[in-house]
């Protein structure tokens, strides 16, 4: 098994990654679609928010669904090889992680028509405000990590009252 970190931005090169705006409607910030033949477990996820001029409340969810959001496609360089097995494993997009506008990617432009979800962690209520930064990480206990089923999508999805910028990520093991 190999571990990979997938975030809601393109791989940073000569500049730090840009924060992605949440907007004020429900929005998938990150979507992960594992291989068509291997289930994948999420061993950690988290997010970081910048502040806004006015305090705002938000809901942040980690869910699994069978419907894809339309996203900016991740590419192989955006997927960080997290452990030794991943470093020697080659390109994860060839047989481990599906990428594309309806697969693994970030910053959804359309949510799709979801009929049902499976909650993978407790939803979070967050309040941001001036000069306030929120950072949250959840690392699951060994043996209790949620699995992304074959042909399903894991999403970090948010709903904000006022748009703020957000980084988010998942570390998955395949």
Query: Is the whole-model pTM more than 0.85?
Result: yes
Q: Which two tokens stand for residue 68?
A: 């894809």
Q: Measured between alpha carbons, how far is 52 from 56 in angstroms, rounded to an integer?
A: 8
- The domain in which residue 15 lies consists of 3-173
Q: How many CB atoms lie within 10 A of CB 139?
A: 12
Residue 40 has which token pair? 């994948």
Q: pLDDT digits over 96-120, tens only?
A: 999 999 999 999 999 999 988 999 9
All residues at 6 or more sequence positions from 147 whose CB lies less than 8 Å from its CB, including other chains: 39, 40, 41, 42
Number of structural domains found in the chain: 1
In this predicted model, what pLDDT tens digit does every residue of 4-55 receive, in sequence order?
999 999 888 888 888 899 988 999 999 999 988 988 999 999 888 886 556 6
């Amino acid at each position: 098994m190999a571990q990979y970190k997938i975030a809601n931005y393109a791989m940073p090169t000569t500049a730090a990654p840009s924060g992605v705006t949440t907007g004020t409607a429900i929005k998938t910030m990150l979507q992960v679609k594992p291989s068509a033949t291997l289930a994948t477990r999420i061993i950690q996820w988290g997010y970081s928010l910048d502040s806004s001029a006015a305090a705002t409340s938000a809901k942040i969810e980690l869910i699994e669904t069978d419907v894809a959001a339309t996203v900016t496609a991740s590419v192989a360089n955006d997927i960080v090889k997290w452990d030794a097995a991943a470093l020697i494993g080659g390109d994860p997009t060839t047989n481990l992680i599906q990428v594309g506008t309806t697969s693994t990617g970030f910053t959804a432009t359309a949510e799709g028509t979801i009929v049902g979800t499976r909650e993978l962690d407790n939803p979070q209520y967050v309040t941001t405000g001036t000069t306030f930064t929120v950072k949250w990480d959840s690392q699951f206990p060994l043996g209790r990590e949620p699995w992304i089923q074959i042909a399903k999508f894991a999403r970090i999805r948010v709903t904000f009252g006022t748009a703020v910028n957000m980084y988010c990520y998942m570390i998955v093991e395949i």
